Structure 1
């Protein structure tokens, strides 16, 4: 299946993600609150453009079912995550509006710019390859972290969201679509999809690393 070919291309990246101190700090509760707040703010910015990317995938989708699938994900899943972020900001004595007013930082800007350029400029399959890591890696991370969860209730809430069966079911549907689309691609097209998939998987690592470092614009 095409999904196996894709995942084998990011085995080492995923291992680095799981080993990253940001995720390790989520499960043992040692992650500094400032790092998690940084992540939440930047993820709020990211999700606005991710929703746009999913909407473009819906517009380019090859059949009505896939149009509905991506349109629904752009509206429903993103809204649910934004609601969760609002809860997190409230826990830090802040608000979603305040988060929206904070700057979009380098790794976020780079990731969303690549994502949007790919979905607008490439084929539907290329766009699918670019948006897939945000679905699939989060599902795998949620599953991996759920057993340990976290002593911190905010971090435990984050983990449970991505381990939840509703989210996992959404991801399974996208993976089934990926296998169907992959079976129809030429070798050249498959290589392009894999390249985008690997690139945005790297951006996933960079996103957590940026939060861990509390990345800021250098000038």
Structure 2
């Protein structure tokens, strides 16, 4: 018999249509098969670089919003990981596709990118740490789930797939461990703010679910943006 749902599981269940539309998007399916046009992937990569800059700022806001030392350390460690490690790996990966960092910083920001990143910042500025984390996790935990799904799915083509490195990056131990820490932080912060047991009955739940579902829809818009490059 399974135990009670985590906050993360309850959010996914409450926003099932948007979540499934995000993690099983045609962009993701085409990555798995290797059929995604290169122009779509290059466009996505460039916008993802710009996204990571704003995503780092949002995690820096989590430092400001933190009250407990564990949350301060976790948020600060995530900012360091994003800016000093993941961003460098992203630039190196883009270089393999003919995109230098100088090219990336000159890119105009797509509307889908701007909508998503500003939404996350607004969620954090107008709410508390829990609001911010709920808006942030569809990215970090969603990519971890996508990576695991694709790596474990026998239908995913790895041999000869030009996107194999991308799949293995998000399925890899380092990214999966980082996502697990984010998940643990979400549960810890939610419990400290009275979310336990019957989440749906908590007066904060409708707002938190709306934040999560909106972020999922904006993730869908980000994939749509990638496909629009054809």
Give the equivalent residue in structure 1 for 2:44. 39
Question: Whole-Å Cα distance in 1 between the matches of residues 92 and 212 of structure 2?
Answer: 31
Give the equivalent residue in structure 2 for 1:57. 62
User: 2:190 matched to 1:185?
Assistant: no
The offset of 1:154, in angstroms, is 4.7
1:149/1:171 CA distance change after superposition, 3 Å: farther
Question: Whole-Å Cα distance in 1 between the matches of residues 218 and 65 of structure 2?
Answer: 24
How many pairs are equivalent? 215
| Match among 84, 98, 101 for residue 96 of structure 1 | 101
| Match among 77, 88, 91 for residue 72 of structure 1 | 77
List gaps (5 residues or longer) in structure 2. 1-5, 196-201
The offset of 1:92, in angstroms, is 2.7
Q: Deviations over 1:98-130 (max 9, x none)?
A: 111010011001001111111122111111111
State whether residues 91 and 101 of structure 2, in contact with CA within 8 Å, keep that contact through their aligned partners in structure 1.
yes
When structure 1 is superposed on structure 2, of 169-178 and 27-36 the one drifting more is 169-178
1:18/1:3 CA distance change after superposition, 3 Å: closer
When structure 1 is superposed on structure 2, of 188-197 and 40-49 the one drifting more is 188-197
User: 2:151 matched to 1:136?
Assistant: no
SS in 1 for 2:36: coil
Give the equivalent residue in structure 1 for 2:177. 169
The offset of 1:78, in angstroms, is 4.4
State whether residues 27 and 151 of structure 1, in contact with CA within 8 Å, keep that contact through their aligned partners in structure 2.
no
List gaps (5 residues or longer) in structure 1. none
Question: Whole-Å Cα distance in 1 between the matches of residues 136 and 51 of structure 2?
Answer: 12
The offset of 1:208, in angstroms, is 0.9
Query: TM-score, normalising length from structure 1?
Result: 0.90
Query: TM-score, normalising length from structure 2?
Result: 0.86
1:192/1:34 CA distance change after superposition, 3 Å: same
Q: Deviations over 1:28-55 (max 9, x none)?
A: 1111111001111101111101000001
Question: Whole-Å Cα distance in 2 between the matches of residues 151 and 107 of structure 1?
Answer: 32
